Structure 1
């Protein structure tokens, strides 16, 4: 990685450490390095160590030249409108502080050049023992003015007429408030002590009735400070307290991270012991620190609003000279200067010498000079507007200029800078408020105005990526929220792909945006943190999801859905942030029911399940589609069977039989043939029942017929005999109980003999042991189903344990049928059919290998 390209995410990974910033001399190595251990460091020819340098080394430094400060885990440099300027890697620092990274080159005044290094500070046992808190109280000198005391417990503190601390007095003291500048002075921590610095205010800052110069001064207990004159004057009271830290691992907040020494770290709150004794109702407590980024971000247009206090001491002659030198020339002044230079020899004597021909040449030269000057006017206009903080106007001028000069790289770059400074703060506000639709609309607006500027479009696309990343992370509940299977994978992979196609290029773009808009630093760092988390999730959770999908597909392809519940339980335990497994379990149960009815060759319940099928996860949707295309009844069979069932249930038995007879041949023909035979048998049995009215055995025939009816499929015949059965209700229930008792006896005998084993299933014939066990199981299943059917049809409560009994018998029956069908490549088809028929679980004639 090149110097200066250290990513914020990597720097923030060490937020629990303290760092020093080192300036290593490049232009004059003999001067020695400068170690910065405080949050704020002053650059100026009257500041240490520059005041001790040889005079010829500091001639181009201004008295108030620049400031280096640490904030939000980053290091910045701000130029204080110096005469000869400040640059970072050759790029001028204008009115907005510029981000500084390890490896960058800082140059002050065009002569003093340093390379930046960031060095971790050794662990201090003293710092581990406790933290010193400081309260600075500003007590009004004059009680008759109604000014409130100010308690400061967080630093830096900006003195500004726009702050509510002073603007509240505007109605009573309008002029006195206006004597305070927007960026008047600030109180900050240095070496654990409070210091005060004037920020180039119009009417000055006073300490003990003397106007402050270019350098900051330490505050002492009892000092008198005044802002803008003799109205807002306060006495300084300092109170220190020492708090024991509970553990060594308790660290300072992010603002005291990389490049920010602990001694000057902002304090979020003070302990109760540090509070002053004044009446809290008449004291203003300031517990939140201001930002160095705001303190050193200059807006000349707003500076000119300051009202001059005639009673305030004026600037010194040297200060006035420097201030005048920092004022930008207007365009017409620059143009006149160029013309003056062009016609410097244009007095009358010279004109007579050159004659009219020479005059024409001079006019042409002058015109050429004007043309060349005006060609760069757009660029100068944009730079001037940027310097004045008029970013929207600069963006508009740049957009118009690009239409006339679409190939100008300089204007493209300036247009990008203006656009970022004008629009990104509003976009950041929307992002912070989680108004992602508004943030997206702002991105679209930026893109619409930058169609002719590919340089700006690259920055806009990167901002969109940051917005999309934040929207995704917030939408799913935070970076540590569960990974929603079949929902989050695609978005995670898309966000990572967008980044990884050119990670270094994207990082350089983000660094560039942060250099234009310092407040973008925190969202940038947060985005890098989210990125690392998604990369971790991709390597762990998304890889686990891929393996799970492969396992599901493999086991379903092997007709082994019964092994998947254990697989899902294992994944739930190993990957606690994997959400959506319940949906997979639901699809698995639905698929297993369909698969079991299909392998058992139960057509009617299978068709009912197929009509309700609704799979929500990709692997089960895919497998069910394959099952439908190859092994389940076709749509034509389903439709014709529905028509035959409807006719049968309505009592039109002949139409139902005709419909079943007309079914097309296919994998399910044997099952349909068995159903046709079953319905014909029921029809014959019903006719015989009608003829047996009055006979001695009619009751037995009636109950036997009733027990064989399906309450849904045979609903017409259930209604036809329901009245007669109700008359025999007690006798019917007794007979049903006999069936349950018989089923229980057969089941116990089957269990006592031992279940049918794999050796018996593999036999080349049907042994006596297999036959006897199969008949026990089949008989238990038939008796249990018939008995339970009567209880259900009569709406009578089921006997205790009967439901579990039927469930156990059916589970064993289905297990034996599946185990036999898995041997279809080993057993001779006729033998397999005979063994399935003995096991039962369906009509004896429908047993056949699975399609």
Structure 2
């Protein structure tokens, strides 16, 4: 069964109106299949691909042989009164178009026969996102005739003297209207662009003063188009717009729908002096009417004597009218002479002619030798000796590098020789071996661009299969930040010339029939990737934009809800857990940075390892602008090492020598904190034997950080252990005090935006800030003692600490967001009252 012949393919294509028509050659298989992707396709010896066929294959084909068109999910063929006719399954197509179905045989000119196949069109991501809408305005060139502009919003559009668009002028201009034929010309869409074609009219159709021949021409913006002479002449104005949802522009066939109507869908038009006089055509004509041939009615046309005749554009006709050259006459005479043995004539012609004969003979021998090489390759192909045929073709290509025929034969031989092995490797999922086979084919095809195009397409199919299998199949999850690149690459390589690639794949399938199934599978996988590109890759782009926006606004806390929403809406999106991990790392660094906790921040920076692109980008920007520099980090590490080893003076000297910068205030606070600890430790040493020494010892111990102040923790640990019960009691007192202050703070209400925006420090702000700062300091010191003594935390104390710390950080961030509004000194004073960073008691986390 040929591709596309299955009835289900035709049914689905008819319903979706998204299908391609394939003409599979029967009479001459070497020509390759023809894929029709537009609604209208021209058959004729001056049309592609027929113009590229060998001349002996198209001698019976007329220049305007037939037209194949699609309408309302059905496919039709219309014969254009051709000399040798068109048949469907042996039945002649006459005046009316004939419907064709998958499996039918079409014959043109009695010689070229094709089998019809219908295939659903591969999904297009561009059509899923929107469609282009085109309108064409025909603006009259002559203002003295009273002609109205015509705006076309639907295609095809038939130019006919029976239509009211032109018949309305019959009383004023009877002859000029009769110069237009009943089926004069039509404007239709091809690949989304307008084309105009004369339908064999009596007096012709003109574009920019040139009469059209048998082929349609593309209509450009500003082209001047005339029908039947110099009366109905218009300038074409093209306008394009983009619609998000696809719309159907081709309505049901209607003769009445040709006239303007106020209810027609509005389309964009060029500004005119009187828009009400513009005729809007919002309904399409039917190809079924356009391509009906009725010569009897055409004979009613009035001939315009002033209309210029058609200039022959067929090379054969032009050549047939050209007088024979002398060398042609000479060759004919020589042929006759040698055929009849006329020696008298030889003497009459002379020895000069014999020299010409020798040259011609040499050329003939050369041509014969080239033909011998081609025949050898064809013979090997016919015998199934494909590898030998490929070698012979390569050898012949070296002697005739410019021969397209040799190149084509070399391509065919190579494909037939190597693709079956490549297919076996692909089906066995031996992708490295398949890739090596493709590269071997490429090496053998150096100097043959025709074969390279085929090999490139095989490589694309192999890369597509490797990717789909590697990710677990076409329905496997989309791995964020991993699959976007390969999908984008595969689609770009396809979309750079989708029609061309499909023709190449059709050609490979015609050489190697077993390629048909992998070809169909590749098209199915392509459609799935196009769908994933439209849905999931677009969603990833939006997610990246949301992450960048929220991080840029210093709102990382807004992203967990965004990630949860994407996880629910896009169930095949994998890898969001990695994004969440990066978000947690970034949020921790951001919070310590905004809280100005330098020691904790530096510890997080040293462990920072972001795995997703948006967080890598944002962290790089953060490092360049707001985080401590590498020099500051290195010098602070030296200070910490000296402090922890007990070399306090070196640590203080290092802090005093820190370079000025964004973190100078934090360094100054740390210097003050360390000096205070040193003074408190010296005072503690002097208080031995005094009554208040135990209280001083516990107060000092509560302020120590178990890591940063490890030297002093070890220095007093034995004394604290002796007072363990009293130390735990003090820790509980601090927790109780923090709880009381926190309750009072909550009862008064949190510090609000109005209080933060005050131009001074009100008593209300000051009281609430002291309550919050005191609660934070007490809970931090109490929890630190429990941690240092390795004692279990009291019930609820961890949650209390988290609540107070969260409120402190919220108030600090809210104040820092007002740094462009509040005076710098006032902002610093308010932050100092809130605590959490500048207050020495709350500098470190337990």
The answer, yes or no, to whether TM exceeds 0.5 is yes
Change (3 A) 1:13 1:807: farther
- C-alpha distance in structure 2 between counterparts of 1:658 and 1:743, whole Å: 35
Aligned to 1:628: 623
1:597 to 2:596 alignment: no
Query: 1:651 offset after TM fit, Å?
Result: 0.3
Deviation readout 1:633-691 (Å, 9 max, x if unpaired): 11111111110110000000000000000011111111101100100110111111111
User: What is the aligned counterpart of 2:770 among 758, 770, 775?
Assistant: 775
CA-CA distance at 1:760 after TM superposition: 1.9
Structure 1 residue 116 and structure 2 residue 101: aligned? no
User: Quick check: 1:385–1:393 contact (8 Å CA) kept in 2?
Assistant: yes
Given that 2:779 and 2:801 are in contact with CA atoms closer than 8 Å, whether structure 1 keeps it comes out as yes
Aligned to 1:475: 470
Equivalent residue runs for 1:797-816 within 5 Å: 797-816=792-811
Aligned counterpart in structure 2 of residue 831 of structure 1, from 817, 822, 826: 826
SS of alignment partner, residue 688 of structure 2: coil
Q: In the alignment, is residue 454 of structure 1 matched against residue 449 of structure 2?
A: yes
Q: Which residue of 2 aligns with 1:402?
A: 397
Alpha-carbon deviation of 1:119? 8.4
Q: Deviations over 1:172-224 (max 9, x none)?
A: xxxxxxxxxxxxxxxxxxxxxxxxxxxxxxxxxxxxxxxxxxxxxxxxxxxxx
SS in 1 for 2:795: coil
Higher relative contact order (CA 8 A, sep 6+): 1
Instruction: Specify the alignment match of 2:657 in structure 1.
Output: 662
Which residue matches 1:484? Answer: 479
SS at match of 1:116: strand
Match of 1:183 in 2: none
Offset of 1:763 from its aligned partner?
Answer: 2.2
Per the alignment, residue 708 of structure 1 pairs with 703
CA distance in 1, matches of 2:747, 2:593: 30
1:744 to 734, 739, 752: 739
> 1:421–1:534: structure 2 CA closer, same or farther, 3 Å change rule?
same
Q: Name stretches of at least 5 consecutive residues in structure 1 with no aligned partner.
A: 28-87, 89-99, 121-341
Aligned ranges 1:777-796 → 2 under 5 Å = 777-796=772-791
Deviations 1:450-474 (A, max 9, x none): 0011100000001101111111111
Do the aligned residues in 2 keep the contact of 1:649 with 1:714 (CA within 8 Å)?
yes
Separation (CA, whole Å) in 2 of partners of 1:509 and 1:22: 13
Task: For residues 98-130 of structure 1, give each alpha carbon's deviation from its aligned partner in whole angstroms, at most 9, with x where no partner exists.
Answer: xx995996679x96765534589xxxxxxxxxx
1:735 equivalent in structure 2: 730
Identify which of 491, 498, 504 aligns with 2:493.
Answer: 498
Distance 2:439 2:7 in 1: 28
Instruction: State the alpha-carbon separation in 1 of the partners of residues 651 and 5 from structure 2.
Output: 76
Q: Residue 13 and residue 445 in structure 1: after superposition, are their counterparts in 2 closer, same or farther (change >3 A)? A: farther
1:403-422 aligned at under 5 Å gives the runs 403-422=398-417
Post-superposition offset of 1:767? 2.3
Q: Which runs of 5+ in 2 are unaligned?
A: 28-87, 89-99, 120-334
Change (3 A) 1:566 1:433: same
Which of the numbers 543, 547, 551 marks the counterpart of 1:548? 543
Instruction: Write the distance in 2 (CA, Å) between the matches of 1:685 and 1:419.
Output: 89
Change (3 A) 1:26 1:632: closer
How far apart in 2 are the matches of 1:755 and 1:603? 27
Specify the alignment match of 1:374 in structure 2.
Answer: 369
TM-score normalized with structure 1 length? 0.59
**SS in structure 2 of the partner of residue 376 of structure 1:** helix
Alpha-carbon distance in 2 for matches of 1:354, 1:25: 49
CA–CA distance in structure 2, aligned partners of residues 759 and 7 of structure 1: 75
Q: Secondary structure at the match of 2:707?
A: coil
Cα drift, residue 593 of structure 1 = 0.9
| In 2, Cα distance between equivalents of 1:686 and 1:25 | 99
Cα distance in 2, alignment partners of residues 360 and 689 from structure 1: 126
CA separation of 1:667/1:364 partners in 2, compared to 1, >3 Å: closer, same or farther? closer
Change (3 A) 1:713 1:796: same
**Equivalent position of 1:587 in the other structure:** 582
1:54-92 per-residue CA deviation (whole Å, 9 max, x = no partner) reads xxxxxxxxxxxxxxxxxxxxxxxxxxxxxxxxxx9xxxx
**1:843 and 1:369, CA in 2 relative to 1: closer, same or farther beyond 3 A?**
closer
Cα distance change on mapping 1:367 and 1:557 into 2, 3 Å: closer
Residue 424 of structure 2 corresponds to residue 425 of structure 1: no
TM-score by length of 2: 0.60
> Is this contact kept in 2: 1:601–1:846, CA < 8 A?
no
What's the offset of the Cα at 1:510?
Answer: 0.6
Kept after mapping to 1: 8 A contact 2:776/2:842: no
Rounded to whole Å, the distance in 2 between the matches of 1:376 and 1:511 is 28
Cα deviation for residue 15 of structure 1 reads 9.8
Distance 1:380 1:428, change over 3 A: same
Task: Report if aligned partners of 2:610, 2:616 keep a CA contact under 8 Å in 1.
Answer: yes
Pair 1:642 & 2:660 matched: no
Q: Is the partner of 2:790 in helix, strand or coil?
A: coil
CA contact (8 A) 1:105 1:113 kept: no
Alignment correspondent of 2:671: 676
Instruction: Give the match for residue 506 of structure 2.
Output: 511
**CA–CA separation in structure 2 for the residues paired with 1:835 and 1:360:** 110
Write the distance in 1 (CA, Å) between the matches of 2:751 and 2:370.
98
- Asked whether the equivalents of residues 740 and 788 of structure 1 are also in contact (C-alpha less than 8 Å), the reply is yes
2:433 alignment partner in structure 1: 438
Equivalent-residue separation in structure 1 for 2:13 and 2:633 (angstroms) = 67
Task: Answer whether contact 2:426 2:462 (CA < 8 A) is retained.
Answer: yes
Give the superposition deviation at 1:577: 1.5
SS at match of 1:712: coil
- Higher alpha-carbon deviation: 395-404 or 367-376: 367-376
Contact 1:706 1:790 in 2 (8 A): yes
Aligned pair partner of 2:756 in 748, 753, 761: 761
Question: Aligned equivalents of 2:7 and 2:377: distance in 1?
Answer: 33
1:554-569 counterparts in 2 under 5 A? Answer: 554-569=549-564
Alpha-carbon distance in structure 2 between the residues aligned to 1:503 and 1:687: 82
- The C-alpha deviation readout for 1:12-33, integer Å capped at 9, x for no partner, is 994999x9x9999999xxxxxx
Aligned residues of 1:601 and 1:847 also touching (Cα < 8 A): no
Q: Is the 8 A contact 2:781 2:841 kept in 1?
A: no
Say whether the 8 Å CA contact 1:671–1:846 is kept in structure 2.
no
Change in 2 beyond 3 A, CA 1:427/1:13: farther
Residue of structure 1 equivalent to 2:692:
697
Distance (Å, rounded) in 2 between the aligned partners of 1:494 and 1:763? 56
Other-structure match for 2:61: none
**CA separation of 1:758/1:370 partners in 2, compared to 1, >3 Å: closer, same or farther?**
closer
> Following TM superposition, by how much is the alpha carbon of 1:613 offset from its aligned partner in structure 2, in angstroms?
0.9
1:445, CA displacement in angstroms?
0.1
Please give the root-mean-square deviation of Cα atoms over the aligned residues, in Å: 4.0
Contact 2:24 2:117 in 1 (8 A): no
CA separation in 1, counterparts of 2:583 and 2:364?
Answer: 82
